[in-house]
Copies of this chain bind each other. A is one copy, B any other.
Amino acid sequence: MSGNTFGKLFCVTTFGESHGPALGCIVDGCPPGLEISAEEIQLELDRRKPGTSRYTTQRREADQVKILSGVFEGKTTGTPIGLLIENTDQRSKDYANISEQIRPAHADYTYWAKFGLRDYRGGGRSSARETAMRVAAGAIAKKWLKQQFGIEVRGYLSQLGPIKVDKLDWSQVNENPFFCPDTDKVPEMEEYMQALIKEGNSIGARISVHASGVPAGLGEPIFDRLDADLAHALMSINAVKGVEIGAGFASVEQKGTEHRDEITEDGFQSNHAGGVLGGISSGQELIAHIALKPTSSLRIPGKSLDINGNSIEVVTKGRHDPCVGIRATPIAEAMMALVLVDHVMRQRAQNGDVKFDLTIPAGESA
């Protein structure tokens, strides 16, 4: 109820503060018999890990995950999987001076208003560090989806501030520090980021996530639509301010004749729907986009108050990502995977392994 759990059948509950002893999560509901190892989970964690390039925070966490339960002789047992990452690089002193500050665009004030007290070290629970556990849990979900159903979830950076990506070459996404699928844009991004770091400023980003191999029929008709659950999942990522499915906000100016994805014997002729109709997957590629705001921790002073109501100037000196969006790709993938695994299980609950006959080819992906 306090909202640290995601999912209804494949449930992930996380705990841990940025500078506490450890982060962890429980994955409850993972089907038995799935081969999984800490090493496989680690691969995903390493994609999100800070300190991997000059464009992300220099905090260096080993981020070494341990499996504490739920896996026996290399396979999931169907019982809850406990995962743990011990915090090692905690420079809490960096934060002592901010204990009474209300940093603009941070969660300082709102946590204080909600709880009446807060763990201010590194943002405590509001730190994006919490998302490490989502990536860990998502790694299990991803593996199950791929192995059992051939569903693959992949994301990429589609826009970095003013720089939009023109090409989608999946093979390039993991080959540069931006998760950028268009290598032509990488030098421009590097230059932009260097200027930004020099300036002491930060910038927003847009991330896109696709799932291929999604069967038609996933999602519930009314409140737990596949797209509504995706919106929930993706908006729950730190710094996200917008979520689109398929054509998203472009739909506002589309006419019906343009937006509707016609169908022929070759399948869907376009994918403005983003793979969801009436809240249920259509068998087309599932496509979502998210907007991430610029990092709020800046070296450029900003006006604010302290918790006693006095005017102050806030300058952040800790180690921070100038663009949080860069590292958000693996997190967005994890969240989409968690939504999908849950809906696959819901569908099985209702229909068992039954498959209905009619299948429209997936057709065009965008």
A78-B115 CB under 8 A given contacts A66-B21, A257-B201, A353-B353: yes
Whether A242 contacts B245 in the complex (CB less than 8 A), given A110-B216, A277-B105, A348-B348, comes out as: yes
Please tell me the number of chain A residues within 8 Å of chain B, measured between CB atoms: 160
What are the residues of chain B within 8 A of A161 when measuring CB–CB? 252-253, 255
In the assembled complex, how far is the CB of residue A217 from the closest CB belonging to chain B, in whole angstroms?
4
Residue of B nearest to A207 (CB): B252
Given A201-B257, A204-B259, A243-B231, does the pair A349, B358 have CB atoms closer than 8 Å?
Answer: no
A33 to B4, CA, bound (A): 19
B236 touches A291 (CB 8 A): no
Q: A220 an interface residue at 8 Å Cβ cutoff?
A: yes
Query: Which of B5, B66, B280, B283 is A13 in contact with, Cβ under 8 Å?
Result: B5
Closest 10 CB pairs of A and B: A107-B278, A3-B224, A3-B220, A202-B256, A232-B232, A110-B280, A113-B216, A105-B260, A231-B235, A113-B217
- A247 interface residue, CB < 8 Å from B? yes
- How many copies the complex holds: the figure is 4
A14 to B227, CA, bound (A): 19
Q: In the assembled complex, which residues on chain B have CB atoms less than 8 Å from the CB atom of A66?
A: 21
How far is it, in angstroms, between the C-alpha of A221 and the C-alpha of B6 when the chains are bound?
A: 12
